[in-house]
């Protein structure tokens, strides 16, 4: 089954601050903030919401189709996608632009400070859902603002069920605009912070928002996640990782699990557990796309975590 993944392709420059931000940011001085963090550890990773989701979905045996816009510096990422067998049919090159770039500083509490340059991502609206054929499900992850708006309408017009995953793009939209997205979407996924912001902007509780989609998923990090579906709240436990190394991309790994479970017509309990496991596997590795697994190792990890068979 083909999953159309609308979102960003980006290079992530990830830096690790060997201390805690709270030791260096004075609450009474935030109005005149000027701080510098020494980051002796730095690396450049392949990232972006669409790239990360596609990576995990491909490992699961899915067929991801990426719809994104990229810049003149995309060649290394292109080679990587080719090596993985991920089609680039709907990745559009925008001359004279950089591919989106995220500069992420993580502290010892896994807090993150990110600076993001959108580059070619701002032209996401130049891609159209109708250009992708034989699509069974889609997701709208953080992308160019106009692209997110257009792709939601296009998914609905094409009759393709999709997940609305506003992520870091949520602050770009007011309450009415967010409600429009939700009316068009079949599913929605947010983290706990985004869930709070969503409620504030729309004026609706999570229970009320959940009645407007088939499922509303709220991830809460180490506290697991909740799936509002079928008039109930399904609590999904977190999976204790082998190590807590880097949270970057954990949400995208989780969303790949959601897509796969929906494609397989699994119950929400099983879908959520797979998604939770993928987040745990990701956090144990540096970078959003350096963890790996195969069908057998994933099944073994799922059995160990939940005492039930995956396949």
Active-site residues: which are they?
Answer: 252
Whether the CB-CB separation of 127 and 67 falls below 8 Å is answered with yes
Q: What angle do CA 197, 159, 196 make, to 5 degrees?
A: 5
Interatomic CA distance for residues 26 and 20, integer angstroms: 12
Q: Residue 33 corresponds to which tokens in the numbers above?
A: 């903030």
Please, how many CA atoms are within 13 Å of residue 133, restricted to the half-sphere of its CB? Answer: 1
Interatomic CA distance for residues 201 and 195, integer angstroms: 10
* Pairing outcome for strands 112-117 and 100-106: antiparallel
Sheet holding 10-16: strands in order across? 41-47, 10-16, 100-106, 112-117
Q: What angle do CA 215, 220, 223 make, to 5 degrees?
A: 120
| Alpha carbon of residue 23 to chain centroid | 29
User: Residues 6 or more apart from 75 whose CB is under 8 A from it?
Assistant: none
Interatomic CA distance for residues 151 and 128, integer angstroms: 7
CA distances to 44, 90, 105, 108, 230 from 15, rounded to whole Å, are 9, 31, 5, 11, 42
Q: Which residues pair with 10 in a beta bridge?
A: 47, 100
Give, rounded to a whole angstrom, the gap between the first and last alpha carbons of the chain: 17
């Amino acid at each position: 089954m083909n999953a159309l993944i609308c979102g960003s392709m980006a290079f992530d420059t990830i830096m690790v601050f060997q201390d805690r931000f709270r030791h260096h940011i004075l609450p009474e001085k935030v109005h005149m903030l000027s701080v510098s963090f020494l980051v002796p550890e730095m690396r450049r990773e392949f990232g972006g919401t669409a790239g990360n989701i596609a990576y995990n979905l491909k490992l699961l045996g899915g067929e991801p189709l990426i719809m994104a816009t990229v810049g003149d510096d995309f060649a290394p990422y292109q080679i990587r996608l080719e090596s993985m067998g991920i089609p680039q049919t709907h990745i559009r090159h925008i001359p004279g632009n950089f591919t989106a770039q995220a500069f992420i500083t993580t502290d010892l509490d896994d807090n993150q400070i990110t600076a993001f340059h959108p580059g070619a991502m701002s032209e996401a609206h130049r891609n159209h859902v109708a250009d992708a054929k034989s699509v069974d499900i889609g997701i709208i992850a953080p992308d160019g603002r106009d692209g997110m708006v257009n792709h939601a309408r296009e998914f609905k017009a094409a009759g393709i069920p999709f997940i609305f995953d506003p992520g870091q793009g949520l602050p770009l939209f007011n309450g009415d605009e967010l409600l429009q997205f939700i009316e068009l979407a079949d599913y929605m996924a947010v983290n706990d912070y985004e869930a709070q912001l969503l409620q504030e902007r729309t004026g609706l509780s999570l229970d009320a928002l959940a009645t407007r989609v088939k499922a509303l998923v709220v991830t809460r990090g180490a506290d697991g996640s909740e799936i509002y579906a079928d008039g109930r709240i399904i609590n999904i436990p977190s999976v204790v990782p082998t190590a807590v190394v880097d949270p970057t991309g954990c949400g995208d790994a989780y969303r790949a699990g959601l897509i796969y479970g929906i494609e397989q017509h699994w119950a929400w309990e099983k879908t959520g557990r797979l998604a939770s496991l993928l987040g745990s596997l990701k956090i144990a590795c540096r970078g959003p796309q350096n963890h790996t697994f195969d069908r057998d190792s994933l099944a073994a990890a799922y059995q160990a975590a939940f005492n039930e068979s995956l396949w």
